[in-house]
Copies of this chain bind each other. A is one copy, B any other.
Amino acid sequence: MTRYDKGANAERELIKMLDSRGFAVLRVAGSGVNPLPCPDVVALLNGKIIAFECKARKGAYLPIQKEQMDEEVSWAKKAGAIFVVAWKIPNKGWLFISPEIFHLAGKNYMLSLDNAKKHAIDLNVIIGQQSML
């Protein structure tokens, strides 16, 4: 499977998870090539807006380009959306992480898998269908 396929499959899986929880969901066109910086997937319910940057990646670290993440965080702020990084670890599962947990390393924001596991938030908490334990 190519890197593109893995990413597209992860997006589809995330969309199904959100759809099954009652959200109106959309996949954003041309993430990456779009002149407008925006997230990959947006979930909406009764005016609540959650924007997801979706990454499928094995390995001990997740890098996200600084410029891309900064623009997406600004986009979400303007929209009035919660912004979440959705990290799919192939054959393992999902980690949902707030962008503040990343640290800057040159041109990228970086996050270790250990830190991601420590700070991950349950999807049902993010979407407001369960309280934080």
Which residue numbers of A lie inside 8 Å of B, CB to CB?
A: 15, 19, 22-30, 34, 36, 38-39, 42, 44-49, 75-76, 78-81
Copies of this chain:
2
Q: How far is the CB of A77 from chain B (nearest CB, A)?
A: 8
Q: How far is the CB of A90 from chain B (nearest CB, A)?
A: 22
Q: A26-B26, A45-B78 are in contact. List 18 more A-B contacts (CB 8 A).
A: A15-B36, A23-B78, A24-B38, A24-B78, A25-B36, A26-B29, A26-B38, A26-B39, A26-B42, A29-B30, A42-B42, A44-B49, A44-B79, A45-B79, A45-B80, A46-B79, A47-B47, A47-B80
Q: How far is the CA of A47 from the CA of B44 in the complex (A)?
A: 10
Please indicate the chain B residues that have their CB under 8 angstroms from the CB of A23 in the complex: 78
Instruction: Name the contact of A34 in the complex, choosing from B27, B34, B46, B80 (C-beta under 8 A).
Output: B27
Look across to chain B and name the residue whose beta carbon is closest to the beta carbon of A38.
B26
